[in-house]
Chain A
Amino acid sequence: NAGVTQTPKFRVLKTGQSMTLLCAQDMNHEYMYWYRQDPGMGLRLIHYSVGEGTTAKGEVPDGYNVSRLKKQNFLLGLESAAPSQTSVYFCASSTGQGNQPQHFGDGTRLSIL
């Protein structure tokens, strides 16, 4: 009954460091998403994937890369972290059907110093 699992839950980085956030889902969903959530701004879509091996840019993709090598996993990479990337990152998955909701992971709280 895991749903969507994100690792790590917390991380502190120095400017210029790189890291990868992992998202795994066990619901056999085709569609997966990465969002960032900042105070007063709501959830903003970074990148998304409509199936294994495919990715696409969302609203705020700059500074991030993603990969979907396996259907159940969606990775978000920061190549050279910047303080502006301090945020809470949420992964979500869905069937892609219009009336079906997205299911969210518990989030990764990332601070860039």
Chain B
Amino acid sequence: GQNIDQPTEMTATEGAIVQINCTYQTSGFNGLFWYQQHAGEAPTFLSYNVLDGLEEKGRFSSFLSRSKGYSYLLLKELQMKDSASYLCAVSNDYKLSFGAGTTVTVRA
């Protein structure tokens, strides 16, 4: 079975940093993806981790610990346009299992 947990909602101030945690217990693991989804739109790819450690991409970073079944997405220098849902997804072979998503609201 697949169990992927992430917080439902988070609120932060423009310019601040927010960390979205994701814990997983899955029957297989080939990597972990993070997607961003604005309301009413398609999910878009943000990051991919397959090895332990931190992957940095501009204002966004993602971390993975396979032994702990844990990942986080770090959003720095928050902007209003970062208000969206962030989806954690575990890859097993060529299929993805998604968490329910974390809605981030950025306040001015």
Contacts and interface: CB of A to CB of B under 8 A. Distances in A.
Nearest to B42: A104
A31 B45 contact: no
B55 to A, nearest CB: 11
Given A43-B43, A43-B87, A104-B43, A96 B94 contact: yes
A50 B95 CA distance: 10
A59 B92 CA distance: 13
A90 B48 contact: no
Contacts of A90: 42-43
22 contacts: A4-B42, A31-B94, A33-B95, A42-B4, A42-B87, A43-B43, A43-B98, A45-B97, A48-B95, A58-B95, A59-B97, A90-B42, A98-B30, A98-B50, A98-B91, A99-B50, A103-B45, A104-B42, A104-B44, A105-B42, A106-B42, A107-B41
Interface of A: 4, 31, 33, 40-45, 48, 50, 58-59, 90, 94, 96, 98-99, 101-107
